[in-house]
Amino acid sequence: MAGQFDRQGPVPAQGELSTRSSGCASTVDPITLLLRVHKPSHCLQQDTTALDHGLLLGQAGRMNGAADLASVLSTFEEPWAPRTVALLNDYDVRVVKTKGEFTRHSHPDTDEFFLVLHGALTIRMDGGDVELGPGQVYVVPRGVPHQPVSIEGAEVLLIEPSATVNTGDTPSELTAERRVL
């Protein structure tokens, strides 16, 4: 609840996220948090298709314009080939088109965030399947084997550490190189 404090500072209001660093706290809404981007020095070569979408990162790692996800998604058809549209500290914000079954895999060192933008996605896991539709979010916990599936196709936003390989611990023909726009 806004106005309350915990040991590290103000408690964010409902619908807000708190970011804490160096003992300081700040409260931001989730969209602002997604759009705060920093370019790590190890960033790979940028994809020039982003020029038309205002996405290329400028000096100090800041985006040159707003990320138009629909526009970026319209530039490619290849399923399971994510595009990094923003950098969030050491994390990539990626968009991907899905169709069919992906490689069953896990990420031993990190969780994986899925937000369905369009279509439907099923995440198959040993403990039960998770069905996601537009606007729905699920986080696969680190180390949990999972297999994304979308028979009709879906467009999905992912958030994961920049060094994360899309097929995790199970390389396959669907392993994609990191593409930073």
**Is 172 inside a domain boundary?**
no
Are 87 and 131 in a shared domain? yes
Are 119 and 61 in a shared domain? yes
**Is 180 inside a domain boundary?**
no
Are 27 and 104 in a shared domain? no
pLDDT tens per residue, range 13-41:
444 443 333 333 333 334 433 443 333 33
**Distance (Å, rounded) from C-alpha 73 to C-alpha 71?**
5
**Is 174 inside a domain boundary?**
no
The count of domains in the chain is 2
142 is written with which tokens?
A: 């680190």
Are 69 and 140 in a shared domain? yes
As a whole number, mean pLDDT of residues 103-117 equals 96
Range of the domain at 17: 1-36
Are 131 and 84 in a shared domain? yes
Query: Can you tell me which residue has the tokens 């931001």?
Result: 28
Are 96 and 138 in a shared domain? yes
pLDDT for the residue 181? 86
Are 84 and 153 in a shared domain? yes
**Is 181 inside a domain boundary?**
no
Are 29 and 102 in a shared domain? no
* DSSP 8-state symbol, 170: S
**Is 8 inside a domain boundary?**
yes
Are 154 and 93 in a shared domain? yes
CA atoms within 13 A of residue 90's CA, in its CB half-sphere: 5
Amino acid at 59: Q
pLDDT at 50 over 90: no
pTM of the predicted protein model: 0.68
Percent of the chain whose predicted confidence (pLDDT) is above 90 = 60
Are 19 and 98 in a shared domain? no
**Is 173 inside a domain boundary?**
no
Are 151 and 76 in a shared domain? yes
Are 99 and 132 in a shared domain? yes
* DSSP 8-state symbol, 12: P
**Is 154 inside a domain boundary?**
yes
pLDDT for the residue 156? 98
